[in-house]
Structure 1
Amino acid sequence: MPDFPNVPDAIDRAKAAVSERAELPGMSLFEHLDELRKRIIHSAIYLVAGYVVAVFFAPQLYSLMQEPLNKIHIQLNFTHPADLVNLRYIQIPLVGGAILASPFILFQVWLFIAPGLYQRERRFLIPFMTAAVGLFLLGAFLGYHFVFPGLLKFLITDLGSQLGIHPIISIEEYTSFFLSLILGMGATFEMPVVIIFLAMFGVVSPRFLWKNFRYAILIIFIIAAIITPTPDIPTLCAFAMPMLLLYLIGIGGAWWVHPDRRKKKEAVA
């Protein structure tokens, strides 16, 4: 069975957190709702601005998406008259705009939760923003330059030549496959940020994460099977293996920021 954190210790930490947070300046329910409305409106404005910018650069973004197929000399086809309109003005600009606006949207999320944080926790703003954006871009970069071309070569060139089948790939199917894999790789690289964020508030501990590593492997492969765009084993492993490595990195980060370590450091000092 999984080794869950010690319940009495978790209760004590929760009581201490509640007691300490009671000293923070409070906000009424309507003030919270008004603040939430303000952050949602700002995020929507940033998303629209990102969409407008991405519309102008949609041809360049499409060329980037087409490049992996050009390397294996495959031409895309469209099966519906509206496919090109959907690609040019909806899919590419929306995804590109969301990526462009993501740092500003994350900042709005931080502004919403910042009033409930201690002063020492607010200093994690810059590392949090840098890690969240940087890891997403790193995951998308590795997916675009290594994972996605490798999968295309295996699924189209290698298997196609073995079976003697000529591929006819539609724009709709290719775009869905491309965006699912690239965005999925970017999202999986956020795992250390999520783990460190939970550890910072004492929700999980490095000891708990390490002792339940075998269960984490099972959960990671289940998640990878859900988010992978195709059911084949290479695609599954392409998602699962980086997630396992990132889980281990997250354990190291959890040890660094966990409240128990900070308390021991302060006691020694």
Structure 2
Amino acid sequence: MASTETGRKNFLKKIGGKKATEQSPDEMSFIDHLEALRWHIARAVLAWLVAVILVFIKIDWVFDNIIMAPANPNFVTYSGLCNLGHSLHLGDAFCMPPVKISFLVNTVSGSFMSAISIAMTGGLIVAFPYLFWELWRFIKPALSPKEVKYSRGSIFWVSLCFIIGGAFGYYLLAPFTFNFLGNFTLGTQKMYEYKPTLDDYIDTINNIILGCGIAFELPILAFVLAKIGLISAKFLRTYRKYAFVIILIVAAIITPSPDWTSQALVSLPLLLLYEISVWIVRRVDKQKVQAEKEWS
């Protein structure tokens, strides 16, 4: 409770930026806090727009070498898995059939809007560390010195987990998804022509990358909740079976394809992340017990 009260006082002193140095904490109003938040949001949006513009300038290269790569039969994941199967003397067990998809643009502004969507998502990924840093700057004054000490390196770890999750979705989940959907056929007679729209493909790969990036923040979220006392290792172990069901549901939402391979590719890492979260929270609990012993 003491650290919480200290954090609130620090919040009132610092969150208003320069205005906090001109007036006492008791004189700061709710509008002052909104003003500070407004400037943090403005800087974050500006950084995101700069990243969006940079991605849009190189949109042709990004489209050819990044966006369309998972739908290319020469993508590194396809060749890498096939070579792995051969090195393990499993033949073509890990080799997937080549993807052959031709995309359709059925609106006048379709290509341009697809480019905007790519730039906006790419800008979000590029600017993510700075966006979180702005969020951290807003929250930090409300923390006690001890809490600030425990949270050192949070920007690095949050950004790292997001990047690892996005890379996992891009290099593993996306190829399996598009390979399955691109080679799936309905009916014994080919009575239709398979031509998905370009914006549907882009929305799918954007959702996969962002969904996996956010899902991989689970250990960081568990650490924060454990620090503020909302969860414990015992709590996570008790509700493990319910968490596994939720993870399976999340995996079904992230993966647009219904095949069990894609579901497993998402579920297994999330289950591993959950167990890592249990280990992290257990360490936090031990630190709290040790701190209580030192104070007593």
With structure 2 as the length reference, what TM-score do the two structures score?
Answer: 0.76
- Aligned residue identity for 1:31: D
Shift of 1:77: 2.4
1:44-55 matches, within 5 Å, as 44-55=45-56
SS of match in other structure, 2:146 = helix
In structure 2, do the counterparts of structure 1 residues 213 and 35 end up closer, same or farther at CA, with 3 Å as the change threshold?
same
Question: What percentage of aligned pairs have identical amino acids?
Answer: 25
1:65 is aligned, of 55, 64, 67, to 67
CA distance in 2, matches of 1:39, 1:154: 43
Aligned to 1:109: 135
Q: How big is the alpha-carbon RMSD for the aligned residues of Structure 1 and Structure 2? A: 2.5
Residue of structure 1 aligned with 2:107, choices 80, 89, 107: 80
Contact 1:54 1:97 in 2 (8 A): yes
Q: Paired residue for 2:125, among 70, 88, 99?
A: 99
Tell me the amino acid that sits aligned with residue 123 of structure 2. G
CA deviation after TM superposition for structure 1 residue 152, in Å: 2.0
Within a 5 Å distance, the mapping from 1:213-252 to structure 2 comes to 213-252=240-279
Give the superposition deviation at 1:155: 2.5
CA deviation after TM superposition for structure 1 residue 207, in Å: 1.2
Instruction: Call closer, same or farther: CA 1:124–1:162 in 2, change over 3 Å.
Output: farther
- Residue 12 of structure 2 aligns to a residue whose secondary structure is coil
Supply the distance in 1 between the matched residues of 2:279 and 2:230 (Cα, whole angstroms). 15
Query: Amino acid of the residue matched to residue 145 of structure 2?
Result: Q
- Is 2:173–2:266's contact at 8 Å kept on the other side of the alignment? no
Deviation string for 1:31-52 (max 9, x for gaps)? 3212111111111111111111
1:115-194 superposed matches below 5 A = 115-157=141-183, 159-160=184-185, 163=188, 165=190, 167-194=194-221
| 2:12 corresponds to which of 13, 26, 44 | 26
SS of 1:96's partner is helix
Larger deviation: 221-230 or 50-59?
221-230
Give the aligned residue type for 2:50. Answer: A
| Structure 1 unmatched runs, 5+ | 1-14
Equivalent residue letter for 2:143: L
* Distance apart, 1:20 and its partner CA: 4.5
Structure whose residues are more often helix by fraction = 1
Change (3 A) 1:168 1:34: same
Q: How many residues get paired? A: 252
- Structure 1 residue 226: deviation in Å? 3.5
Cα distance in 1 for residues equivalent to 2:111 and 2:273? 37
C-alpha contact 1:110 1:125 (8 A) present in aligned 2 = no
What are structure 2's unaligned runs of at least 5 residues? 14-27, 74-98
TM-score normalized with structure 1 length: 0.83
Give 1:263 deviation, angstroms. Answer: 4.0
Deviation readout 1:12-66 (Å, 9 max, x if unpaired): xxx4544454664634323321211111111111111111111112112212111
* Cα 1:101/1:125, change in 2 over 3 Å: farther
Alpha-carbon shift at residue 124 of structure 1 (Å): 4.5
Kept in 2, the 8 Å contact 1:180–1:229? The answer is no
2:281 aligned residue (243, 249, 254): 254
Moved more, 17-26 or 163-172: 17-26
